[in-house]
């Protein structure tokens, strides 16, 4: 964006113009005459998502947000008193509250710090996120999900900080969720929920809605045998069309190329911050698009606010500055941000 230096995709991604334009037309303005072609595009988008994630279109559900998707997963099971669900300690509330809310049903929701430890007895669900949202370090989600599946435990993966950056799913994941507003650069209003074949075969879904009927509105048609059983209602068409445009760009560019571009940018930020004397807390091996550093003795929030006054946008989390460049971030933006942080380090907030 002209005049804006932006390294904060882990919060909200800058929407490309192509995606914004794709979502401008309000299909509802023509009623069903305009909406009917949109139903075909729904199917096309499911197919495209399925190709990306290595599943089939029947595994793909559209939700309004990552939070809604995870709450749908939480409602899927017939919980019994004493059942256990585990989730990452200190995780973002979207991947905490769906599980702690289950305590009202007698479920034990346990926060986990050491993922190498054995799962507690009676664990029915492991809910893990791909990335620590404060440090940017990738969690050992692949190993955790593999161990859980080997033990007959259901798995749920919050992939919002990996989707659009690097591969973020495996055959051991039963539920995969990611909103499109961050690294998928498509704005609010849509999250993708992928439901595994195992879950489709063994679980009924969290609710029954008209959209989950085989032939709406005919009740006698029965429910579909797909992830649409997890959909609560229609997602706004503009959100779907924005994501459709973004996904096409990612596909043309190639996911490996996207990942390589993000890594080059985050590695440059990481190395330069260390050279400047910042204490970088992110892991360059278990990497994500996030690089977090401690600006002590300066206050992270104050540094971020100083950046906003210069139209340099980064984030702050847990007392650290969080920088998150995407493949769209230019070399000039990275240079301007790093030069500014050097002045902050050497001269203070007025540098």
Domains and CATH numbers, the chain: 5-14+254-347 (3.90.1150.10), 17-253 (3.40.640.10)
pLDDT at 34: 78
Q: Are strands 60-63 and 191-195 parallel, antiparallel or unpaired?
A: antiparallel
pLDDT at 1: 57
Full 3-state SS string of the chain: CCCCEECECCCCCCCCHHHHHHCCCCHHHHHHHHHHHHHHHHHHHHHHHHHHHCCCHHHEEEECCHHHHHHHHHCCCCCCCCCEEEEECCCCHHHCHHHHHHHHHCCEEEEECCCCCCCCCCEEEEEEECECCCCCCECCHHHHHHHHHHCCCEEEEECCCCCCCCCCCCCCCCEEEEECCCCCCCCCCCEEEEECHHHHHHCCCCCCCHHHECCCCCHHHCECCCHHHHCCCCCCHHHHHHHHHHHHHHHHHCHHHHHHHHHHHHHHHHHHHHHHCCEECCCCCCCCCCEEEECCCCCHHHHHHHHHHCCEECEEECCEEEEECCCCCCHHHHHHHHHHHHHHHHHCCCC
Q: What is the pLDDT along the chain (351 residues), one digit of tens a residue?
A: 568 999 999 999 999 999 999 999 888 888 877 777 777 788 899 999 999 999 999 999 999 999 999 999 999 999 999 999 999 999 999 999 999 999 999 999 999 999 999 999 999 999 999 999 999 999 999 999 999 999 999 999 999 999 999 999 999 999 999 999 999 999 999 999 999 999 999 999 999 999 899 998 899 999 999 999 999 998 999 999 999 999 999 999 999 999 999 999 999 999 999 999 999 999 999 999 999 999 999 999 999 999 999 999 999 999 999 999 999 999 999 999 999 999 999 998 876
Instruction: Please give the Cα distance from 136 to 131 (Å, whole number).
Output: 6
Residues 68 and 232: beta-carbon distance below 8 Å: yes
- Closest by CA position to 235, among listed 59, 20, 63: 63
Q: State pTM to two decimals.
A: 0.96
Residues 253 and 228: beta-carbon distance below 8 Å: no
pLDDT at 351: 66
Percent of the chain with pLDDT over 90: 91
Who's near 299: CB < 8 A, 6+ residues apart?
A: none
Considering Cα of 280, then 281, then 286, then 288, what sign does the dihedral take? negative
Residues 176 and 49: beta-carbon distance below 8 Å: no
Considering Cα of 325, then 327, then 333, then 339, what sign does the dihedral take? positive
The upper half-sphere exposure of residue 166, i.e. CA atoms within 13 Å in the direction of its Cβ, equals 15
Question: 331-347 and 255-276 are packed helices; what angle lies between their axes, rounded to 10 degrees?
Answer: 20
């Amino acid at each position: 964006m002209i005049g804006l230096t932006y390294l904060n995709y882990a919060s909200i991604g800058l929407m490309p113009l192509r995606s914004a334009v794709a979502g401008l037309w309000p299909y509802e303005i023509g009623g069903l005459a305009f909406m009917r072609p949109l139903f075909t595009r729904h199917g096309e988008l499911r197919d495209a998502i399925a190709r990306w994630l290595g599943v089939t279109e029947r595994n793909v559900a559209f939700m309004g947000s990552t939070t809604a998707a995870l709450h749908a997963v939480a409602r899927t099971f017939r919980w019994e008193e004493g059942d256990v669900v585990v989730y990452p300690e200190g995780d973002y509330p979207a991947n905490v509250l769906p599980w702690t809310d289950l305590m009202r049903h007698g479920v034990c929701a346990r926060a986990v710090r050491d993922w190498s430890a054995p799962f507690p007895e009676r664990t029915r669900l492991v809910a893990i996120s791909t990335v620590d949202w404060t440090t940017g370090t990738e969690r050992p989600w692949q190993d955790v999900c593999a161990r859980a599946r080997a033990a007959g435990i259901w798995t749920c993966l919050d992939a919002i900080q990996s989707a659009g950056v690097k591969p973020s799913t495996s055959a051991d994941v039963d539920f995969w969720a990611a909103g499109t507003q961050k690294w998928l650069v498509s704005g609010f209003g849509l999250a993708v929920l992928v439901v595994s074949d195992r879950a489709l075969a063994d679980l009924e879904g969290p609710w029954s809605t008209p959209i989950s009927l085989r032939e709406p509105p005919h009740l006698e048609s029965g429910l579909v045998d797909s992830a649409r059983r997890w959909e609560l209602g229609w997602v706004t068409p503009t959100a779907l069309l924005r994501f459709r445009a973004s996904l096409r760009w990612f596909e043309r560019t190639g996911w490996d190329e996207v990942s390589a571009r993000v890594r080059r940018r985050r590695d440059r930020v990481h190395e330069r911050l260390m050279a400047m004397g910042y204490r970088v807390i992110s892991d360059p091996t278990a990497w994500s698009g996030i690089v977090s550093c401690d600006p002590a003795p300066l206050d992270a929030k104050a540094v971020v606010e100083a950046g906003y006054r210069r139209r340099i946008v980064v984030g702050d989390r847990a007392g650290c500055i969080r920088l998150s460049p995407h493949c769209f971030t230019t070399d000039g933006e990275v240079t301007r941000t790093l030069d500014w942080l050097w002045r902050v380090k050497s001269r203070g907030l007025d540098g």
